[in-house]
Amino acid sequence: MDTTIAQRIADATGSAVDQAGSLGGGHGARLYGIVLADGRELVAKAATTSTTLDLEGTMLRYLAEHSRLPVPEVFLAEADLLVMSRLANRGRMSAAAQAHAAELLADLHGVTGPEYGFEQATLIGPLHQPNPCGDDWIAFFRDHRLLHMARKALAEGEIGNRLMQRIERLAERLGDLIGPPAPPTLIHGDMWGGNVLVDGDRISGFIDPAIYYADPEIELAFSTLFGTFGEPFFRRYAELRPIRPGFFEQRCDLYNLYPLLVHVRIFGSSYVGAVERIVGRHIP
């Protein structure tokens, strides 16, 4: 690790860096596992190309201040360096862990706001996520999630004009397809397995958020996309916060168009087929 980074960590934590080892990297940053001289264990994320690590720190601090969701403590959040506590991650996503995750997310989804959106733009992975506030969820999801990400994918050559036209036609029908939404609720926003840390049969924390106030069904949908959670999660969640009829049959797929388009932009055409299949269920 660069000595300048080690000194910045020491200044932020009040303890010298005793050990530092690479944890890999991605999305324009390299991760380090840190052990301080006083024994505390941290994770440092140092930018290689990204200059938005301060925003990730802002989102983690917001969750810590406005909810009971377990997240890393942030010691330093600057554009090129994020330093946070290291949470245990030494279990598997058992049925008990899924039930605990359901309790934590149901509690998070009890945090409501006056409008959909957020006080500033955020990120999902490395991608810009606009959050203009408003009281119309359908318009927010249509314009600032579905169409925003699809148009970016079109401009980058990841999807073609015909698929874009079909997505636009689908967007016009969202009011009928989604129906009345839930009130604005704080969500983590990037709910896949890599962002959920497990310790035994318990969840130790959530990382890499993409927060805003939303209909929480968009979070529940995302959690199904890569098999993060299954029946044990949804059974326990529904005991705490009822899931409206039609979610699994229709709205889940519609909401997953957004993270799928995110993956199209980050990882390329291998995800386009999944987008086409969902769109094709509604638009010939």
185-187 and 81-85 strand pairing: unpaired
Q: One of 54, 190, 215, 253 is an active-site residue; which one?
A: 190
HEC profile of the chain: CCHHHHHHHHHHHCCCEEEEEEEEEECCEEEEEEEECCCCEEEEEEECCCCCHHHHHHHHHHHHHHCCCCCCCEEEEECCEEEEECCCCCCCCCHHHHHHHHHHHHHHCCCECCCEECCCCEEECCEEECCCCECCHHHHHHHHHHHHHHHHHHHCCCCCHHHHHHHHHHHHCHHHHHCCCCCCEEECCCCCHHHEEEECCEEEEECCCCCEEECCHHHHHHHHHCCCCCHHHHHHHHHHCCCCCCHHHHHHHHHHHHHHHHHHHHHCHHHHHHHHHHHHCCCC
Q: Is there a contact between 199 and 90 (Cβ–Cβ < 8 Å)?
A: yes
Rounded CA-CA distance 137/155 in Å is 25
Rounded CA-CA distance 187/210 in Å is 8
Is residue 201 among the annotated active site residues?
Answer: no
- In Å, how far are 51, 56, 93, 131, 189 from 122, measured between CA atoms? 13, 8, 28, 7, 10
Active site residues: 190
